[in-house]
A and B are shown apart, each in its own frame.
Chain A
Amino acid sequence: MKKILFATAVVAMSFLSACSKKGDTVTIDSSKPDGAFTAAKTGTFTAQNGTPTAGTLELGTDSKGTPFLHFSPNFTTQLATGTVSIYFSTSMNFVASPGTGNPDLKLVGPVTKNGEAYFKLGAAIPANFTHVILWCGTASIPFGNGKLN
């Protein structure tokens, strides 16, 4: 009886092990580039309103042509006071015009941490959007901006 139980256990473990190797779940972070990221434009953040904003930014595509915004590993801003949102802007100034659909702004999303980050963009960014603005929406003040060259 003991031999039967032992053999059953060995078979079961082998089966589970095989299943695990075959069925390993691979989680793809959709915000990361697929393959190499190639920068088309670069810039450096300038701090505003006493925040510790610093670092470089890049706009480019991955190997499949998907556009991404990339913040460098030395990117910092002020996150302790609340949500900081990333916008593409046609100038260094945040010009909101909700009545006309905010033609000078494109929202990317919130930045949640300092350090390197990639932000997947839904579509290519038109060339007239020359700046990235870090924006504290509730207070309505900029924390920093960077011009893309």
Chain B
Amino acid sequence: MFKYLLVFVLSVFSTALSAQSGWTRDKHDIFLKLDFQTYQSDKYHNLDGDVVKTNTFRQQAVLLYGEYGITGRFAVNVSLPLVKIQSFNISEKVAGIGDAKVEFKYALLKGKFPLAISITPEIPTGPSKLLSQNLINSFDKINLPTGDGEFNLWTTLAVSHSFYPKPAYASAYVSFNKRTKYQGQAFQDQIQAGAEFGYKIKNKVWVNAKVFSLFGVGAKPGFADFIRANGTSFTACSLAALWELGKHWGISAQYFNYTDLFFKSKNVYTSGQISLGVTYQRKR
């Protein structure tokens, strides 16, 4: 039972931060989450890591995330930003669907230290060009696409541990993102690594703390494009909570922010981000 709860909780916490665990969903089990995220920032870290105060960039997103257990060891997870709305404070809002991720996850080991490997194609389903009109200068536009226009492939290895009978768990993972090109411009590959710890308070509310880093590998990109995250690096931390509303439903809340703990933030807008979610799960 505790394992089921862990899988549920890890799923809930996983979408916004691309977190990973060593558990996979059981055969024919389903998990769904609808998440709303919002943030805004005028603190841009350029490719050299210097902070530049800019006009305020704003983004809101609605994300759909789902997991389905095909066998006891093999699961498919899908993440799709249904809509992203983006603008600067002096430009019109533009909106579009995001890039879809389809994760094929296999449990290599079960038991005390479950270990899973996954391969996740990220498909460029979102528009790679969305021009936002400047509200002050009629000739001025900025490209705020909701997709990055390139196909890329994440490979992830994740391990977890349950501290049963204590209602707690821990996970760690490392991912490699093989990126390709957009309009002839090659992207840096990326490595992401993270860890998390979760605990259930008074048998009612799961809380979770998480830290992860993302950084690029290979030659420094020739241009900065924060929307496509080329040359981006940062470390992020989050705190999240989940309230289970009966057998199937739940609601979640999360706060996420950046830090220069392990890597200097580069080519990224940083600020606190809030997300709220509704979850549903069904077991066979």
Contacts and interface: CB of A to CB of B under 8 A. Distances in A.
Contacts, number: 73
B54 interface: yes
Contacts of B163: none
User: Quick one: which of A52, A83, A110 has the most chain B CB within 10 A?
Assistant: A83
A99 B159 CA distance: 59
Contacts of B231: 50
A109 B138 CA distance: 11
A51 B223 contact: yes
Contacts of B54: 139-141
Contact of B222 (A52, A110, A140, A141): A52
Contacts of B143: 80-82
Contact of B44 (A78, A110, A141): A141
B44 A138 contact: no
B223 A83 contact: no
B52 A49 contact: yes
B139 A109 contact: yes
A50 B142 CA distance: 17
B40 to A, nearest CB: 13
A-side interface size class? 10 to 19
Nearest to B52: A141
Contacts of A141: 44, 52, 54
Interface in A46-105: 49-52, 78, 80-83, 85
Which of B50, B132, B223 has most chain A Cβ within 10 Å? B223
A137 interface: yes
Contact of A50 (B55, B136, B223): B223
A78 B52 contact: no
Contact of A83 (B52, B88, B140): B140
Contacts of B55: 138-140
Interface of A: 49-52, 78, 80-83, 85, 109-110, 136-141
